[in-house]
Structure formats: C-alpha cells, structure tokens
Amino acid sequence: NLAGNALHGGVEGFDKKLWSVVDVAQGDEPSVTLEYVSPDGEEGYPGDLQTRVTYTLTDERALRIDMEAVTSRATVVNLTNHSYFNLSGLEDATVHQHVVSINADAFVQVDENLIPTGELASVEMFPAMDFRRPKKIGQDLDSVPPRGYDHCYALDAHELDDAVVQVTHPVTGIVMRMYTNQPGVQFYTGNFLSGGAPAKSTQAEGATYGPHSGFCLEAQMFPDAINQPNFASPVLRPGETYRHTTIYAFDLID
C-alpha cells in the first residue's frame, strides 16, 4: 500500500478496524481489553489471527499496553503502538525542544524509500542518530533525510523493568520513560503530518497538527524482518502466542 511495500499492516491496518470490548476492570489500576480477529487472507496475510490488547492505567502514573496474538496458520506478526506525544501540552508547535535519550548503540539502516537494508549501523558513525546521551530532537533533525527521524533503533540488551527511552520537556518538566520487551523502537518525529487535523491545545484558534508537532516511540521487532535473514523472525506459528508489552511512564523533573 506504499510504493509496493506494506505499511501499517496494509490498506486497512488494525488501527482502522472495529475492535470488540471483552473486559473492563475498575479499581486502582483500571483497564480495558479489546479483541480483533483478522480473517485468513486479510491484507494478504495467512491465517485467522486472534489479537487482544489490554490498556492499563497503573498506580505508578503509567500507561501499560499488553498485546497477545494466536494464529491458525504461520503468519507475520509485528504489532506496535503509534501514539503521538508532545510533552509541552502543545504549547510548542513542534517537538524540537524535547530532550531524548535512547539506550541503543545501533539503528536499522534504510534505503531511499525507508526500507531496511538488513544491516545495523553504529550510531557512533552517524552523530545525528546518536541519542545515547540526552539531546534535543531539533539539534540534528534537519540533517536526517528525508524529513527527520523515522528509524528503528536496535535497543541494547534490556529487561522489561529497564527504561530504554527517556524524553523530557525542559519547560513543563514532564518526563516520559518507555519500557518494553521488544528488541527495537521506531523513533518517528511526525515528518509527514499534514496539518489537516485541528490541535487540541491553548494555541491560537485554528492551530493544527503539522510536521514535527508530535513524536512516536513504537516498540517492535525490526521492520521488514520477514525479508532480512539477519533479523529475528517475525513469524508466528500455530500453537505459539505472540506477547508484547510496552509501558509509557510519566513523572516530573525533581
């Protein structure tokens, strides 16, 4: 659905499907569980894929996302969360002033169409891609073709209780830490936001979400892994259960 490649699951990815509510929990950590069954052949993928996702607001000021999937035939599964964040409360029109650190010594190299080449590149060789020490998103953004960051970082070895990404806004003092059991995180800076959607903020009336007005941190397996023998396989087989957890935890600077 994009230059001969599958993006976001196809023409109608899971974000465009109507999910069923299968459980709602109240209490100190309220949650909701949704389910969607993708029929065999949908978007060209084999197997009936039964997927569940649970969103939980934890008592530690975090949003926890747990995904599970089982299939009737061997198929490709690489789910993620594509939420946009702007820790300024959208007082800033862009996320350029956000300070980011990513625990990754390497990232997935891509071609001119942003399709992985199958190689990992050291961030040490590409300073604009190096977030091992905190730096502002806008510091090197303009030097990253074609329009900014849209790259999968190969996370250093980690457990679920290890923060792999931290983002801070220097004015609001809001800190977001990301935790995941996935090997990679796609860092995207909203390069292709068109400005068509109205912004929910205290900006001037008529403000919209334009390029770089939000960023995404999408935990996942490496993109295009099905075609790259150097990457871990994204194939799910009958009898197996796909499990993915991502946590976005929020705090304030001390």
DSSP string, 48-106: -EEEEEEEEE-TTSEEEEEEEEEESS-EE--------B-TTTTSSSSSTT-EEEE-EEE
Say how many CA atoms lie within 13 Å of 191 toward its Cβ: 16
Residue 76 amino acid letter: V
Q: Are strands 242-252 and 174-180 parallel, antiparallel or unpaired?
A: antiparallel
- Report how far residue 67's alpha carbon sits from residue 244's, in angstroms, rounded to the nearest whole number: 5
At which residue do the structure tokens 């862009």 appear?
94
Longest Cα–Cα distance in the chain: 54
> Is the Cβ–Cβ distance between 133 and 123 less than 8 Å?
no
Query: Among the options 12, 43, 82, 124, which is catalytic?
Result: 82
Active site residue 96: no
Query: Among the options 98, 151, 169, 218, which is catalytic?
Result: 218
Sign of CA pseudo-dihedral 52, 53, 56, 62: positive
- CA-atom Rg of the chain in angstroms: 18
∠ CA 81-140-181, rounded to 5°? 30
SS3 224: coil
SS3 197: coil
Sign of CA pseudo-dihedral 138, 144, 146, 151: negative
Active site residue 82: yes
The residues carrying an active-site annotation are 82, 218
